[in-house]
Amino acid sequence: MKRIVVKPAVRPLRGALKVPGDKSIAHRALLLAGMSDGVSRLRGLPPGLDVAATRRAMESLGVEITGEGDSGILVRGRGLNGLAAPSGPIDCGNSATTARLLAGVVAGRGFSVKLAGDETLSVRPMERIAVPLSRMNARVSGRTTSSRTTLPLIVGGDEPLLGAHHRLSMASAQVKSCLLLAGLRARGETAVTEPRVSRNHTENMLRAQGVELYGHGRTVMLRGPARRLEPLDLELPGDASSAAFMLVAALLLTGSVVDIDGVGLNPTRLGFVDALRRMGGEIEGEVLSECAGEAAGCLRAVGGAPLRGTDVLADETPRLLDEIPVLAVAAALARGRTRFLGCGELRYKESDRIAVVVEMLRAFGVHVKEYSDGFDVTGTAGEPLEGGGRVESKGDHRIAMAAVVLALTARKPTTVCDSAVIANSYPALFDALARLHDGSVVCEEG
């Protein structure tokens, strides 16, 4: 198990950098390019393990993908109905996005696909896609314990898919996307209504590929079967979730000025920026470009302003759910109490993120109160934490990265265990921190 020892930062973070390409957009681009009519060019795909799982999945379905690195990749689409049966199970690794969206892609194709994953992914709930896909005439079965369906999941169906109106009990871009992807080949209208608006990358990409979407407010719908998907020519923006860790680190270290260039500025992803500004953080953003409905530009964070506690409410959690671990880090050094409410979905991520965030903060000496669907953090009003202990990431990349950020502000070096999981989303995190820290290494293998 890889461990990283994080030293306290002895100087501000200064400079500009780019973060990896947006994971959420990358998953969707690979899936939709593979079903398009023609050759798509995708540039800026992130190097993490999760997106690699989606690429391997599409290749196993007969999609030819060539190229690597900054020059981009070429995806030779097989059309909406041209995917081939895989030779064996598809390994989704640790990526719930891969598993859930892929289920919508392979549903009702006349052959069965077995979706598998690692130990962590194999306990995450899949009934939220299995039940609505079954309503669309797909055959879906998985391992069932109590009321939960988990991987391995077998998805198939010999009969044509039928459109349906789905009313989700919780906002979920993964579930919404799964059902819209299935709806591309279903007869009739497929509609998804959410209790709150979730990220809209799938809708943006479908529109860029010529699919007409309808609906308003919290409902999106399409009429199938679609005739074809246009190929994509897409430069992925930087991942806003990865940028959040660098921005919070800058806010917490007085004198820091960090620019994140080329980052995605989709409003459905920037709830964490709104929360940090509400806490008193100095963050500026500027839109500089747009591609396939996705805005991109620069985010700048300036450190030194005192932070204050706030309430992060259920209505805004779909726009910042992935960033709650690092928002909790900001709350740990703010003045007063910060409440995270209505975020019970965090218990079904790579870890039970509520429990593990609470455990991580307590390892630093932060006062935290845990609830079934959230937690309270009482901050130190800027007083540095002691550090010097060990933090267990529990195999969760966002917990590991949040612990690294908090450790930078502590008085003593802190050991972050199982830090290798950071490669799932941001393999170059430690190199980026060293560059911003005037070339000095702050994270070393322990």
Positions annotated as catalytic residues are 322
Q: How many whole angstroms separate alpha carbon 121 and alpha carbon 152?
A: 10
Parallel, antiparallel or unpaired: strands 233-235 and 219-224: unpaired
Burial code of 127-153, b = ≥16 C-beta within 10 A, e = fewer? bbbbebbbebbbbbebeeeeeebbbbb
Give the integer Cα–Cα distance in Å for 34 and 45: 15
CA distance 388 to 362: 13
DSSP letter assigned to residue 2: -
Which of 425, 438, 381, 384 lies closest to 257 in space, CA to CA?
438
In one-letter notation, the amino acid at residue 319 is R
Crossing angle of the two packed helices 240-252 and 271-278, in degrees rounded to 10? 20
Separation in Å, CA 45 to CA 29, 31, 296: 9, 13, 15
State the Cα–Cα distance between residues 248 and 281, nearest whole angstrom. 9
Taking CA atoms, 328 is separated from 136, 235, 334, 358, 404, in Å, by: 40, 32, 10, 9, 13
Residues with Cβ < 8 Å from 70, sequence gap 6 or more? 43, 44
> What does the alpha-carbon distance between residue 263 and residue 67 come to, in Å, rounded to a whole number?
23
Neighbouring residues of 421: CB distance < 8 A, sequence distance ≥ 6: 94, 350, 393, 395, 396, 397, 400
Which residues have C-beta within 8 Å of that of residue 35, sequence separation ≥ 6?
A: 77, 78, 79, 80, 82, 83, 105, 184, 229
What is the DSSP-derived secondary structure letter of residue 234? E
Give Rg (Cα) of the chain.
21
Q: Which residues 6+ apart lie within 8 Å of 431 measured at CB?
A: none
